[in-house]
Amino acid sequence: MTNNFLTTIKSLKLIEGCKAAQLYALSSVGASASTSGSGDAAGGSGRPQPQPPPPPKTVSMRSGSLYYPHAAPSTSGAFAPEHHLPCGLPVADALEPALDACLRPVDHVGALAASYRRVSAAAAGGGDDDLCDSYLEQHALFQSVGDARLLRRALRAARVHADDPHRRAVLAAWLRYERREDELDPAPPPLAPCTATTPLLECPRAALFATASAGVDPVCPCRRPPPPPATPPPHRLRRNASEMSEEEEPETNDLWFVIGEEEVACERSCIAALSKPLNTLLYGGFAEAHRDRIDFSRDGITPRGMRAVAAYSRHGRVDDFPPDIISQLLAFANKFCCDGLKAACDNKLAAMVRGVDDAHSLVDVGLEEASHLLVASCLQAFLRELPKSLTNPDIARLLCSPEGRERLDIAGNASFALYYFLSHVAMEQDMKSNTTVMLLERLNECAELPWQKQLALHQLGCVMLERGEFEDAQEWFEAAVAEGHVYSLAGEARAKYKRGHKYAAYKLMNSVVGDYDEPAGWMYQERSLYCVGKEKLADLQSATELDPTMTFPYKYRACALLEEDNAASAIAEISKVIGFKMATDCLELRAWFYLAMEEYELAVQDVRAILTLDPTYMMFHGRMHGEQLIELLRGQVQQWDMADCWMQLYDRWSAVDDIGSLAVVQQMLAREPGNGSLRFRQSLLLLRLNCQKAAMRSLRYARNSSLHEHERLVYEGWILYDSGHRDEALAKAEQSISLQRSFEAFFLKAYALGDSSMDTESSLSVVQLLEHANSCASDNLRKGQLTFFIRRTTTWEASTWTATCWTRPPSATASR
C-alpha cells in the first residue's frame, strides 16, 4: 500500500515542478508541467542528471501555500526525501515572511493612543466628517492586529458618523460585505427594503435617505410612513413684471413652448417660479418676456418632457413620471438651475435603483447631470454586489479608471472611503491583478491625510513587489517612507534584495534597527533575511522576544532543526505558534514534517484542519489539493464510520483538543456535507480558536444546508450576533422559538440577552432560558456545556457571563 501511495505521488511530477527557480509557482505550473516529460525521458536514458539548483532568491510572499524548492537528499540517513516525499523536505533558507500590506507603526500602542485622542477631539468639535475619518484610521491601524471584532467596531463607528449619503452607502455596503450576506442561499436582494432583523447600519434606504445620522435616529426609512406629497410652488407671478405682485391667479395657460411641430401649454407664473433664470427669462428684459410662444426646439427636451415640466410647475410632484421623462426633467433642471426640480428628480431616480441592472442604466444619467444622490444609489448597487460587479467591464471601467474617478468626483461620489473599500476587496480576490493596481492608484489620488497617503503608497509597493515589478515597488515604498511610514523601509529593503542588492538591503535594515532605542520585532525579522548563521538565528530570537505572534521565526527554526535531523524538536517548535495562532502555512509545515516521519495519522489530522480553515487550500507548491492528499493517504490511516467519529469527537472535544476535533468534524462532513448541525459545531470550534472568518463561513454553510426554517433562523441569528448585532440576533431567536422550541434557539436567545445586559434580573431570565433549552432535545456534548453554563451563571450571576469559554470565546462576543 505504501508503494502505491509513493507511486501515485511520484506520478504528479512534483520534483520537476520545483526544479526551476520561479517567483510565482502558481502562475507557472502549467508551463512547467508541459516540459516535465522530457526531463523524465532524459533520466531514463542513463545520461548524468544535473544537480538541483540552489534555493531561489525570490519566493511568493502572499500565496496560500508554502513554496519551497526541492531539497537535495539528506546525507545523514535520518531522512530520505526521495523515498518518503518526492517533493523533498522544506528548506529553511527558502522561507520568506509575508510583507503586511497595511499600516504598521513602530509603536502600535502609541499610534492607537494618538488615534483615540483624535477621535476625542473630533467628537468635542462636533464634526461628523472628522469623526468618520478618525474611525477609518482606527480601522486601518487594527488591520495589523487582525482582530475582526475591532475592525467591525471601527467600521460601524465610521458608518454612524458618516455625514453624507455617499459615505453612508459605501460603509453600509462594506459592513454587509463583511457578513458575506451574498453567500446565503437564496441570497437576499442587495437593495431590498430591510426587515425587523436587518441591521439598521446596513439598510440601503437609511444610507441614502436618512434625515439624520443612523446612530441618532433609530427609525429606519423602510418603516416610516410615506412622506406627504410635495406642495406646489407657493405663489405665481402676474404677467406685469413691474408690479411683481404675489396675488394668486386661476390656473390658466398663457404661455406655449414650441418644440418641433408641437406646442406645450404652460402657465407663465408657474414656470417662472421654478428658478431665477426662468423668472428673468419670462419676466425680465428679454424678448421672451413679451411673447406668448417661445421656441424650445433646440433646448434638448421633448414635448412629453416639457409637459412634465408644466405639470411639476403646477403640482410640485414627479412621482407619476417614467424614468426617461424624469431624466429629461433632470437635464432641464440643470440647464435652468431649478434646484427644487433637480432635488425631486434626483431623489426619485435614486429610489428607482433596485439592482445592478437599474444602476447600470441610470448611472450615466447621474454622472452627466452631476446628480449626487442618484450616483450614490447606483454606486451602492455596485458595491453590494462585490466582488462580482468588478468583473463587469463597464462597472470596472467606471470604478478603476482615472476618467471614471473624475466623473465620480464631479458628482461628489469619489472619496478615500470608496477606494479604500474597493481596493480591500480587490486585494482579497487577487493581489497581483491590474484591477488591484488601478484601484490603489485611485486610492492614492483621493488620499489627503498623512495616514491615507502612507497606506495607499505602501499597498502599491506591496502589490508591485508581489507582481515582480521590483523597481516600481521600491519607488512606491520610498514614497511611503517619505510620508512617514517606517515599516515601508522593510518593503524597500525587499525590493533592493530582489534586484540583487543584498548588502544595500542589509545596510538599510541595520540602520533601522540602530535608529530606535526600542526596536520593533519586525525590524529584527526583516534584518534576519539578509544574514546567515548565528547572526540570523540571533535576530530571529530577538524578533520572537519582542513580538511572539510573528510566525516566520518559528517556521525558520523548525525547518533548520529538521535539516539537522531533529524532527521532534522541529515539530515542537512549529507547534508553539500553532498553539496560539491557527495559520494554514504553519499547519502545512507541520503536516509536511509528519509525512517525512511517516506519521500519517497526524499528518492527515493537520490537513483536515487546513481544509476547515480554507477549503481551497493547495499544498506542496500549489500542486495538490488537501482532499487529494487525504485520498492518497487513505490506505495509511485508520478509517472510522460515523459512530466511531462521534466517539472520537466526544473524547477530543472533552479534552479540549480543538485541532483534533476540527479534523474529526471535517471527516464527518465529508460523509454528510449537508449536516447543518455539524457545520454549526465546526463554527463553535473555529470561534474558540479565534478563526472568525472561517467560523462565519461554516455558519453560512449551516444555514444554507438547513432544511427547516427555525434552524435557518438560528444560524442567521448567530451570524448577526458574531458580526456585532445583538438586538437583531435576539429577534431571530424569538422568530425561531415562535416556529419551534429548540435547544439552539433558546441558547441563542440566552446568549444574546446575557451579553447585552448584566443586571440580576437579566441573569435570572438567562437561567430560565437555559433551563428551557435543557428541556429540548440535543446531544450530550451541548447539554453538558449548558449545565456548566447554568451552574456558573447561577453562582456568579451575569457578571461572569463572558467567562463561558466552553462554547464561544470572549473574542467572539459582539460589542457595539
Main-chain phi, psi angles of 265, to 5 degrees: -80, 135
Lowest mean pLDDT among 47-51, 335-339, 660-664, 702-706: 47-51
Per the DSSP assignment, residues forming a β-bridge with 624 are 619
**Contact indicator for 716, 732 with CB cutoff of 8 Å:** yes
- pLDDT value at residue 50: 40
User: Residue 435 class from Cβ within 10 Å (0-12 exposed, 13-18 middle, 19+ buried)?
Assistant: buried
How far apart, in whole angstroms, are the C-alpha atoms of residue 666 and residue 350?
46
Cell of 240: 406685469
Give me 536's grid cell.
540570523
Whether 814 shows a pLDDT value over 50: the answer reads no
340 pLDDT tier (thresholds 50, 70, 90): very high
**Which residue did the predictor score with more confidence, 17 or 309?**
309
Does the pLDDT of residue 47 top 50, yes or no?
A: no
Q: What are the beta bridge partners of residue 255?
A: 266
Q: What is the Cα–Cα distance from 810 to 423, expressed in whole angstroms?
A: 31
pLDDT digits (tens, 9 = 90+) for 56-84: 333 333 344 444 443 443 434 445 444 44
- What percentage of the chain reaches a pLDDT higher than 90? 47
- Band (256; pLDDT cuts 50, 70, 90): confident
Q: How many CB atoms lie within 10 A of CB 516?
A: 12
Neighbours of 205 (CB within 10 A): 20
**Cα 189 → chain centroid:** 19
In this structure, are residues 661 and 653 in contact, taking their beta carbons and an 8 Å threshold? yes
540 has pLDDT over 70? yes
pLDDT-derived band at 759 (thresholds 50, 70, 90) equals: low
Mean pLDDT of 758-765: 72
Report the run of H or E that residue 577 belongs to, with start and end: helix 567-578
The amino acid sitting at 86 is P
Please say whether the dihedral angle defined by the alpha carbons of residues 393, 398, 400 and 402, taken in this order, is positive or negative: positive
Q: Beta strands 293-295 and 255-259: pairing type?
A: parallel
What is the C-alpha to C-alpha distance for residues 753 and 600, in angstroms, rounded to an integer?
A: 45
Please write the tens of the pLDDT for every residue from 94-112.
889 989 999 999 999 999 9
Which is nearest to 416 in space by CA: 464, 378, 450?
450
| Local structure of residue 232 (DSSP, 8 states) | P
Which range among 26-35, 205-214, 310-319, 556-565 has the greatest average pLDDT?
556-565
Interval 19-40: pLDDT, tens: 333 333 333 333 333 333 333 3
Give the span between the Cα atoms of 779 and 783, in whole angstroms: 6
358-400 pLDDT per residue, tens:
999 999 999 999 999 999 999 999 999 999 999 999 999 999 9
| CB-based contacts of 641, cutoff 8 Å, min separation 6 | none
Whole-number Å distance between alpha carbons of 295 and 266: 13
d(CA 427, CA 433) in angstroms, rounded, equals 8
Closest CA to 175 of 144, 198, 145: 198
The Cα-based distances of 199 to 193, 208, 230 in angstroms read 11, 15, 30
Is the distance from CB of 301 to CB of 265 less than 8 angstroms? no
Task: Give the pLDDT confidence score for residue 74 in this predicted structure.
Answer: 42
Whether 702 and 683 have beta carbons less than 8 Å apart is answered as yes
Q: How far apart are CA 304 and CA 696, in angstroms?
A: 52
Q: Which residue has the cell 446596513?
A: 202
Q: Would you state the cell numbers that stand for residue 149, as one nine-digit string?
A: 471584532
pLDDT at position 268 is 86
In DSSP terms, 257 is beta-bridged to 264, 294
**How far is residue 375's CA from residue 166's CA, in Å, rounded to a whole number?**
8
Closest to 459 (Cα-Cα) out of 65, 62, 59:
62
pLDDT of residue 664: 94
Q: For residues 612, 613, 614 and 619, what is the CA-based torsion angle, rounded to 10 degrees?
A: -90
Q: Tell me: pLDDT of 482 over 60.
A: yes
**pLDDT for res 101:** 95
Q: To which residue does cell 406685469 refer?
A: 240
Q: Any idea which residue has 502549467 for its cell?
A: 30
With contact defined as beta carbons under 8 Å apart, do 493 and 528 qualify? no
What's the average model confidence in pLDDT over 317-337? 90
Q: pLDDT, tens digit, for every residue of 421-476?
A: 999 999 999 999 999 999 999 999 999 999 999 999 999 999 999 999 999 999 99
Chain CA centroid to CA 164, Å: 22
Sheet holding 255-259, edge to edge: 262-266, 255-259, 293-295
**Nearest-10 Cα torsion for 583, 585, 586, 591:** 120
pLDDT above 70 covers a percentage of the chain that reads: 79
pLDDT beyond 60 at 578: yes
Phi, psi of 11 (to 5 degrees): -65, -15
* Contact call for residues 358 and 190 (beta carbons, < 8 A): no
CB-CB contact of 617 with 65 (8 Å): yes
| pLDDT score, position 390 | 93
How much is the average pLDDT of 774-796? 60
Task: Look at residue 263 and tell me whether its pLDDT is greater than 50.
Answer: yes
Q: Give, for 259, the enclosing helix (H) or strand (E).
A: strand 255-259
8 Å CB contact between 768 and 780? no
Cα dihedral 412/416/420/421 (nearest 10): -30
SS3 815: coil
Q: Are 77 and 41 in contact (CB under 8 A)?
A: no
Residues 6+ apart with CB under 8 A from 370: 334, 410, 411, 412
Residue 176 has pLDDT above 60, yes or no: yes
Distance CA 789, CA 786 (A): 5
Query: By the 8 A CB rule, do 800 and 762 touch?
Result: no
Residues 276 and 263 sit within 8 Å (Cβ to Cβ): no
